[in-house]
Amino acid sequence: MKEEIAPENKCVLVIDENLPLGVIANTAAILSMSIGKSYPDLVGFELADNDGFIRAGITTRAIPILKGDGRLLKKIRPQLKEFEPDLFVVDLIGATKTTKSYEEYADQLIQTPEEKLEYFGIGLFGAKKLVNKFTGSLGLLR
């Protein structure tokens, strides 16, 4: 498990706005699950509704989904490496279009040179100032 979640930390997703809507939604789900696995405290406690029914907790933080494009994602991904592990970074590459298992995805990733990777999205979690350094000028994906 990662370090305690400080209130000044920020979580964002940057997704290629040119992807089909279903791929955008899937990319957001995959990146969010990966962040949640590493930072389970981002998910709140179970909640009771008016009838006393217990519901699963949801995220305790806003997670803005920001728009980018393939060129932007390809440009910032290598720049982020110098800030890891202080900045948690998870990315999703286009191999998901052609692979049918996690193992095939892993093989595709290891066999593809960095300059040939196609990024669908990047998730960031860390100090607000650092996250904003890379994403502060990006608009919301609508």
Query: Per the confidence metrics, is the pTM higher than 0.75?
Result: yes
Distance CA 58, CA 61 (A): 9
In a domain, 140, yes or no: no
Q: Which candidate, 14, 9, 26, 2, places its Cα nearest to that of 119? A: 14
Distance CA 81, CA 98 (A): 26
Distance CA 58, CA 112 (A): 36
In a domain, 142, yes or no: no
Query: To which residue do tokens 């939604």 refer?
Result: 25
- Say how many domains are in the chain: 1
| CATH number of the CATH domain containing 89 | 3.40.1490.10
**88, burial (CB in 10 Å: exposed 0-12, middle 13-18, buried 19+):** buried
Query: To which residue do tokens 């052609």 refer?
Result: 98
In a domain, 1, yes or no: no
Range of the domain at 114: 9-135
Using 50 as the pLDDT threshold, list the residues of the chain that sit under it.
1, 3
pLDDT digits (tens, 9 = 90+) for 46-85: 999 999 999 999 999 999 999 999 999 999 999 999 999 8
